[in-house]
Structure 1
Amino acid sequence: MTDLTALGYTAEHEWVKVDGSVATIGITAYAAAQLGDIVYLDLPAEGTELSGGTVVGEIESTKSVGELFAPVDGTVVETNPAVADSPELVNSDPFGEGWLIKVEFTALPTLLTAAEYAALTGE
């Protein structure tokens, strides 16, 4: 089980888990619930250079299309093949098997704490 207090969060509803110089990124359970049943993900390819705060992908659900923002500057080093085949993993396990991308970051911005994110979403 992922320790949600050990993660950083963005106001755009991404979570970030830092391990050395690599950040694993996904969307929060709150975002997944707001989107509804996720049916397709358009994620950046490995090797893609990301600039923090920019749109880098799309998350399509039965209700709408949401944008995935890059919370960090860096290079995509891995995309999660499991969510490409089974996008519903983002709904069922957003903080575990439903992670989206891993980025070797060059800059790590100040992220929200779990308590600050909970205050933002009213959760």
Structure 2
Amino acid sequence: MEFLVVLIVALVVFGVFRYFRQRMYLKTLTEDQFKEGYRKAQLIDVREPQEFKRGHILGARNIPVTQMKQRLIELRKDKPVYLYCQSGSRAARAAQLLNKKGYKDINVLKGGFKKWTGKIK
């Protein structure tokens, strides 16, 4: 029983630590904030190609999170990166990878594509 309590406390502490560490390099933007800046940025849809084909934000490029490491050459470090996926979790994983590789201006759409009400293709 004692072990279980320690394990639960450790998991909570780890989760809180990851949350605050992520906030240091990742900006989660509302749809309005996202719309303000994505046209001047690198807009990346990190969903899989079949999801992208069913609909995506106008002007987005598809670089699935599963291919991100191999395709980093396609992204510039000197321009903001705006990421989105279906709900936000894959975009956060992609942001973590980009941060480790030295990208600085990383933004994620809060709620992902399923909450997007703007123009789509």
| TM-score, normalised via structure 2 length | 0.26
Greater fraction of residues in strand: 1
| TM-score, normalised via structure 1 length | 0.26
